[in-house]
Structure formats: C-alpha cells, structure tokens
Amino acid sequence: MSHHLFLLSPSDSPIYSLSHQSTKSTTASTNPLAANLPSWSASAFAGTLTALSGASSVSHGHGAGGGGSAGRVGQQDRHVIQMIANASLDVIEDVMRKDGAMYLKAVDKFNEWTISAFVTPGNMKFILLHETKNDDGIRSFFMDVWELYVKVSRPRAISRYNRLINFDETLLNPFHTAYTPIRSSVFDGRVRASAKKYL
C-alpha cells in the first residue's frame, strides 16, 4: 500500500513531495476500478485503469519535483497522483472554513485513494493520499511532519567568520521561507522515518 505526501505553500505551490510504500500488510483488491466495469472494458482499458488507480506504483522519490531515481512512479501515474492532490484543494479549503481544525481527516476520495489534510496556522497544507483508514497514525504522522517543518533546515552556510555552519543541527532556521522548496536530506530522512513509523 502506498502513501503520497505533498507539502504546499500558502499559495498552493508544491515545496516537498514524498511517495512511501508501506510494509504493513493490507487486503486490497487487485484493481478496484475494474470491478465496476464490463469485462471487455477492463481488458481494453487496462493501462488507463492502472494509471488512475496508482495501485501498481511504488515510489521512493522526494523533493519539490521528485528527482529521478530507479523504482519511481511512472510518469503517467505520478501526474495522476498530483492531479488528485490538486483537485482536492477546493474541498480542503471548504472543510477548513467550516471546521477550523488543523487536522481535517479524510476530506475527499477518488477511487480507492482517500485524501487527508492538515493545515498549519501559517496556511501550509499537508496533503496525504492513502488507500486505507488509519486516522490515529495519519494524525501522528502529520504532527511529526509539522514539527519537522517548523525545524526545517538547509544544508550549509558560511558565517561572517568564514566558519561553516550546519543548519541541519539548528532549530527554526531563519533562512527558510514558506515558498522555498525543501531539499534537505535530513528533513527527507526524518519524514521517511516518521512515515515508516506511523503509516
């Protein structure tokens, strides 16, 4: 079962994304879209069904654009997943206005993908696409990611005394803005560890 996390700036531009393949076992049908279609259409449009369901996708990419690595989600699958996340933004804003809570639980559903959201006081949106219900784990994961985001870092900088400073070891980096893509390997590693723990 896979999870796809997107961190969006207050202007809804992506600053970080992560695709995580969970090792926890689940019982899921092989192609839930095919169950609702006649048998001839399921075989004729198998590629489209696979792209829409994302069920065959396994990804381990990160960063604002994802980067290119082996075992990545196929181009078509990645774009469908991004489309699902972007399509849920209006629903997230509607629920956010009505509810007022930071953790919005399951705000939308597209085929077997459930979209959960978390909105920070600074209007950063964390969107998670997932296939199974795990409200407590997802809430804990969002809280962990939010804490990591508050402590977000950049690799290195030079102080005014020409000494290297490693911002990975400092809290509350003053050089990061809400619109800057996150490319920290430490942040990515910690988000992956949190995903492995909670999802």
Question: Residue 60: what pLDDT?
Answer: 39
14-29: pLDDT as tens digits: 999 999 887 775 544 4
Q: Is 14 in contact with 64 (CB distance < 8 Å)?
A: yes
Q: How far apart are the first and last CA of the chain?
A: 10
Q: How confident is the model at residue 186 (pLDDT cuts 50, 70, 90)?
A: confident
Distance CA 78, CA 62 (A): 12
- Predicted model pTM: 0.68
Residue 78 sits in a domain of what CATH number?
A: 3.30.450.70
Number of domains in the chain: 1
**pLDDT at 77 > cutoff 60:** yes
Could you tell me how far CA 186 lies from the centroid of its own chain? 17
Domain encompassing residue 99 = 2-198
Task: Give me the mean pLDDT over the 44-63 stretch.
Answer: 46
DSSP character at residue 119: E
> CB–CB of 88/117 below 8 Å?
yes
Of 148, 172, 174, nearest to 159 by C-alpha is 174
pLDDT category of residue 129 using cuts at 50, 70 and 90: very high
Question: SS3 for 165?
Answer: strand
